Amino acid sequence: MGNDKKKDEVKGKGKKRVDWCQFMIGSASSRGGSTERSTRGSTTTLQSDEDNVNVVVSQLRTRAENKIHTYTILNPYRVRPLSEEERSRGERQILEFPGRGQVICSSTVAGQKPKVFSYNVVFEPAASQEDLVEYSGVKRLLEMAVEGFSCTAFCYGQTGSGKTHTLTGPPGLAQGKPDCWRGDVCRGNGSPRYTRIERGASPYSQEHGLVVRSFVHLFRLIHERPESHFVLKASFLEIYNEKVIDLLNPGTARKPLQVRWSKESRSFYVENLFTVDCEELDDLFAVLEEGMRNRAVGAHAMNAHSSRSHTLLCVRVRRDLRATGDVTCSTHGKINFVDLAGSEMTKKTHSRGKTLEEANNINKSLMVLGYCIAQLSDGKKRGHIPYRDSKLTKLLADSLAGNGVTLMIACIAPTRSNLSETINTLRYAARAKKIKTKPIVKMDARDALIISLKREVDALQAENEHLRTALHVQTDYNMDSYSNRQRQTPPQLEASKLHQLPPSELVELVQLYMDDNSALRKENTELFAMRDQLLRDQELVSRENERLLKKLEDVNSVCVRSPIIPARPTYSESGSSEQPNIWTNPVNSSSNSVVSGDS
């Protein structure tokens, strides 16, 4: 009851935004052509050749969809522009972008060589939020979530490097107009530096980040699949000082939620986390708005609106679709958006008191994440992975090494004063690039079983059709041969007339019955032998069918999304004698040999 009221409260907050959402959808699609300009045009904001980007995305497509089961984590990185404050201090951008996904960090020590890092996708300071959505691979991630994969997009990097900006835009945008901050105390912690965002109408903004744009794209994908029924549920939590707090139910700040291990799904989950059914795009916006308003934000020397917690916004996508015939199955995909709190050098941020405690907790959990990434990326001597050492790594375990697909966006600041943190982030990213995950579609065990049984039944029906055809020919032939060659059916007499027959005719009749009986017994033995032979043949056919079905499934799974191969293999037409028919019973020849043996 309380939950329902809360759901209505959260969802109701998004309702008045209908115009904004519709406008967003219209605007986003109408702007589709302009992205080309930003990658190829004179400004060259996205510093990577398009082919490179496409290679990344198509690798993801081929591997995940064809269930080849290894996938390298995508990790583009984004360099934020110099801030006004940095400019006023006379700081300069020290990163160079020579092209082909390279970034050069000039050394601060005289005579030392500059460090060169190389990536698939680099977003230079002038890259727009739209570029990020178009070329980071997040659209592909959303498609995969709709198809039933577990996907995660997260931003990491030092404090003030632009993680929150990349995910949700400038401070306050996801909740209302930017820069509409008040001096309210957030979450009653007594610190005047903690601010609460004033709500207000938020018109469409170019500054909206990955999350809002992803929501719009997600709904577009759903509308493009009218054959399926979708159910979306969203949750939003934060990990603040190693405590899990439900951002849609901030009362949990007093009684943090527990992270538990599920034996069934073999992953960690948050107990009693509030989830909201999202039937409309507005509902998702409402979840984002509510969560962003409740998250812990603070100020320190390096960022006036610094996130003091890690947040995880999860949208679960259940898809009910007709699998084969009248069987419906459900896939369970999800997309997580994770905004990590930034690593901090407390000397630089001048953290004290509460901010210092937060910084220590943030740094500790990021250090555990770093260990996990280092272990996972070391393919050969992969040892114990310390997921259990922090709440963050417990909740990201599945994204990092499980059955998920992950996009890690490394955010970096361009100035000399941040060089050592920048190099750390780039090293982190280089390690993360080596991690492999094994994406699989999540499906109900019951649904998966029904589908496989249905397939088996279809295959057996086809097989039986073959066998029935083959058996008809043999049975008719054999019955004919018996009646022609061996059996002389005795005349049918009524029992009452038997005693009227003369003894000689009676002897003859008994003889006839004895012959017929022995012929039938012989026929019976031969039919049994034939039945055994057919059972053996059937066994062979079944095995062959199983093999062919497996092959067919393999071929199908390889072809199903390939742009060059038709979605389904074309079976050879019945009239064509050149190509072997995939359904031809390979044991026909052995069945025939039974027949020829008999004749």
Q: Which residues define the annotated binding site for ATP?
A: 157-164
Identify the CA nearest to 319 among candidates 307, 304, 335.
335
Per CB under 6 A, 120 contacts ligand ATP: no
Amino acid at position 589, single letter: S
Look up residue 133 and give its two tokens.
């959505």
Identify the CA nearest to 208 among candidates 166, 156, 153, 179.
166
The rounded distance, in Å, linking the Cα atoms of 229 and 226 is 7
Look up residue 107 and give its two tokens.
């050394």
Per CB under 6 A, 170 contacts ligand ATP: yes
Evaluate whether 591 touches 599 at the Cβ level (below 8 Å).
no
x/- letters, 387..426, toward ligand ATP (CB under 6 A): ------------------------x---------------
Residue 93 CA neighbour count, 13 Å, CB half? 17
Our CB check for ligand ATP shows the closer of 86 and 283 to be: 86
x/- letters, 77..116, toward ligand ATP (CB under 6 A): ---xx-x---------------------------------
Among 140, 163, 431, 466, binds ligand ATP (CB under 6 A): 163
Among 11, 13, 63, 165, binds ligand ATP (CB under 6 A): 165
DSSP letter string over 381-443?
A: T-----GGG-HHHHHHHHHHHSSEEEEEEEEE--BGGGHHHHHHHHHHHHHHTT-EE-----B
Smallest gap from residue 134 Cβ to ligand ATP (A): 15
Our CB check for ligand ATP shows the closer of 76 and 342 to be: 342
Q: Which stretch binds ligand ATP (CB under 6 A): 152-160, 231-239, 536-544, 573-581?
A: 152-160
Among 160, 333, 370, 439, binds ligand ATP (CB under 6 A): 160
Using the structure block, give the residue that is written with the tokens 């990097």.
157
Smallest gap from residue 352 Cβ to ligand ATP (A): 16
Q: Which stretch binds ligand ATP (CB under 6 A): 159-167, 353-361, 375-383, 582-590?
A: 159-167
Our CB check for ligand ATP shows the closer of 357 and 458 to be: 357
Smallest gap from residue 87 Cβ to ligand ATP (A): 12
Phi first, then psi: what are they for 114, rounded to 5°? Answer: -70, 150
Smallest gap from residue 207 Cβ to ligand ATP (A): 8
Among 38, 195, 235, 307, binds ligand ATP (CB under 6 A): 307
Smallest gap from residue 127 Cβ to ligand ATP (A): 7
Annotated binding site: 157-164
Evaluate whether 125 touches 81 at the Cβ level (below 8 Å).
yes
Phi first, then psi: what are they for 460, rounded to 5°? Answer: -70, -35
Our CB check for ligand ATP shows the closer of 403 and 425 to be: 425
Count of residues that interact with ligand ATP, criterion CB under 6 A: 19
Look up residue 453 and give its two tokens.
């049984």
Those residues whose C-beta lies under 8 Å from the C-beta of residue 22, and which sit 6 or more positions away, are none
Evaluate whether 285 touches 233 at the Cβ level (below 8 Å).
no
Where helices occur in 138-267 by DSSP H, the ranges are 138-147, 163-168, 210-223
The rounded distance, in Å, linking the Cα atoms of 413 and 83 is 9
Q: Which stretch binds ligand ATP (CB under 6 A): 47-55, 112-120, 298-306, 320-328?
A: 298-306
Tell me how many helices (H) and strands (E) the chain has.
17, 18
Using the structure block, give the residue that is written with the tokens 């019976």.
524
Our CB check for ligand ATP shows the closer of 276 and 313 to be: 313
Our CB check for ligand ATP shows the closer of 143 and 358 to be: 358
Per CB under 6 A, 76 contacts ligand ATP: no
Smallest gap from residue 294 Cβ to ligand ATP (A): 15
The rounded distance, in Å, linking the Cα atoms of 533 and 274 is 63
Smallest gap from residue 563 Cβ to ligand ATP (A): 33
Evaluate whether 153 touches 336 at the Cβ level (below 8 Å).
yes
Amino acid at position 73, single letter: I
x/- letters, 519..548, toward ligand ATP (CB under 6 A): ------------------------------
Look up residue 483 and give its two tokens.
């009646």
Smallest gap from residue 391 Cβ to ligand ATP (A): 18
Q: Which stretch binds ligand ATP (CB under 6 A): 76-84, 135-143, 279-287, 310-318?
A: 76-84
For residue 525, the Cα-to-chain-centroid distance in whole angstroms is 59
The rounded distance, in Å, linking the Cα atoms of 185 and 187 is 7
* Residue facing ligand ATP at closest CB distance: 342
Q: For residue 269, what are the β-bridge partners?
A: 260
Per CB under 6 A, 164 contacts ligand ATP: yes
Smallest gap from residue 181 Cβ to ligand ATP (A): 11
Residues from 341 through 380 that contact ligand ATP (CB under 6 A): 341-342
Our CB check for ligand ATP shows the closer of 207 and 526 to be: 207
| Interface with ligand ATP (CB under 6 A) | 80-81, 83, 157, 159-165, 170, 303, 305-307, 341-342, 411
